[in-house]
Structure 1
């Protein structure tokens, strides 16, 4: 695994007792909120492995709710996330699942409002670092620790190249990129981790490209 600085090795600035169970959980919740793009009304957290066994004692439950509310790992409001959830009208539920998962610190988050729902699977890999392994049944590998662009598009010739060219023309360097599709010619997904935050104007420009259906930004 590559680290950008000594602070990535020491661990994050955080509220809570555990970088894996608290900071990592908050980061997964925050990524889920950024991908959902609007204020969710309900959050279901299905917990696996160590998360399922120790989520209350290690503050994983509070951290997940706080992340979904938009609180980062160092935000003092994390400690009172349940209170803020009640104030904002966010309903939440924790489900302990005894199924064997690929990683002991795994959570499946389902967010919904009156119009849409979204599901993702995230794992906390230690030191506050996370990976998003699945988004709406798309398999992917997203760290959540770097700025990223998520592009839902039609699986058509040239769609990926046009996005990459537009980023290059705007001097945005791609650090990691993955593409996946559900079926030939159907809906597809680009996950592009970049070296710097991108502007809303650039996101809007990407959204106007042919065959692009949705563009979302995740920032640090």
Structure 2
């Protein structure tokens, strides 16, 4: 995961498109995938579920998602021409309409890159321009973006969690919510930590160097 800024900025009164759920929320989900990927992707496979799958063309969800993957903000005037900008930047993309039942009607699964270089993210647009990321590379999580957060991929070993919390405590950074998920015992695991404040670059670097830590990405609020 790469370093990124303002992935989940709460939308203000200005937005492009007819629906905050289908456009602003979609832009933000695409933007989250782009920044978690850490660089400009060359390929995006976008799987749409529920209401997104039924109305994505008429509501502009398709161009909004691509705009987000390109790194556009929710009020960017280039959003309606996102497909053209994607072609110019060498981003190949396709949309797949899925019939699988999902808990939330505005759900999208975005796959960026291919093979071992692939990032897979599932996001939902919950209304009013707000989103939630509920899955990242097969790990279940609940990330709303309402608070600063850090996502830490680590080895599932004794002391990994303590090494992170001790650094945060040393710098007097309070944890608002913390979630740890793993696929199997002893394999890679994911810590999702919401904080009361953004962390400084030197603290971020200290966390990256902590015991058993593999990768770190942060959400700035």
TM-score greater than 0.5 by the shorter chain: yes
2:122 pairs with 1:94: no
**Corresponding residue for residue 176 of structure 2:** 175
Conservation of the 8 A alpha-carbon contact between 2:151 and 2:216: yes
CA distance in 2, matches of 1:161, 1:49: 40
CA distance in 2, matches of 1:184, 1:115: 21
**Corresponding residue for residue 5 of structure 1:** none
Conservation of the 8 A alpha-carbon contact between 1:31 and 1:144: no
Cα distance change on mapping 1:175 and 1:14 into 2, 3 Å: farther
**Corresponding residue for residue 138 of structure 1:** 139
**Corresponding residue for residue 159 of structure 2:** 158
Conservation of the 8 A alpha-carbon contact between 1:15 and 1:73: yes
SS in 2 for 1:75: coil
**Corresponding residue for residue 6 of structure 2:** none
Conservation of the 8 A alpha-carbon contact between 1:133 and 1:140: yes
**Corresponding residue for residue 208 of structure 2:** 207
Of 118-127 and 9-18, more deviation after overlay is shown by 9-18
The 5 A counterparts of 1:35-184 are 35-112=36-113, 116-184=117-185
Corresponding residue pairs, total: 213
List runs of 5+ in structure 1 lacking aligned partners: 1-7
Cα distance, 1:192 vs structure 2: 1.1
Cα distance change on mapping 1:72 and 1:172 into 2, 3 Å: farther
| Deviation string, structure 1 residues 123-166 (Cα, Å, up to 9, x no partner) | 11111111111111111111134322110001111211221221
Cα distance, 1:115 vs structure 2: 6.3
Aligned Cα root-mean-square deviation (Å): 2.0
TM-score, normalised by the number of residues in structure 1: 0.90
SS in 2 for 1:76: coil
Conservation of the 8 A alpha-carbon contact between 1:24 and 1:128: yes
